[in-house]
Amino acid sequence: MTSTARKVPRVLARSAQAAIAAAAVADAFRAAAVRNHYLHHTDASLDRSGFISVIFVYLMTLAILLFLVWLARSRRTAQELSPSASVPGRGWTIGAWFTPVVNFVVPRQVVLDIGRASSASWEEKRDTALVNLWWVAWITHALVLAVAGRVAPGSMVFLVVAEALMIAAAVLVGLVIERITALQSAALGATVPVTPLAQA
């Protein structure tokens, strides 16, 4: 274990969690404002939906940035804690999120690999289920938005489902961040590298 792995970025983790929560709340207001403008085309509704959408874009950009920085730092710490574990490279840890088609599958595996390499205390059944629930909520949210935009723009049902999934994904990824950060913090007190768990 190298000396650079002695500090877990808790402030970064908290900042990412806060930004993700704020973006999820802003998205709910954005969706409601956009639907209102779709149903009632006025200058006021256009200004309101535009303003809230800009705020959402800023918050979402910040949330994505902080999450990816946290993920990159966690990957480095996991690699130092468990040098023999299968941990994705630095470029792939970030790049997988922006590669079409790949970004529907690989980022989940990246997070799982980092979690497994972070600590022998990773609970394969419970912790993997947490990551899977987050990923299903996030991907389903994206799919619902895509379908709604094509078949039922302005639908209240689609809006409620999409925003419920967005909030669920935000809560779940916050728990994933908390779990991996806590595991790494505890593992840093070990005197030997973490023994990697067998992947399911």
What confidence tens digit (pLDDT) does each residue in 64-86 have?
A: 999 999 999 999 999 999 888 88
What pTM was estimated for this model as a whole? 0.86
Question: For residues 60 and 26, what is the distance between their CA atoms, to the nearest angstrom?
Answer: 9
List, for residues 151-190, the tens digit of each pLDDT value: 877 778 888 999 999 999 999 999 999 999 999 999 886 5
Gap between the Cα atoms of 51 and 58, Å rounded: 11
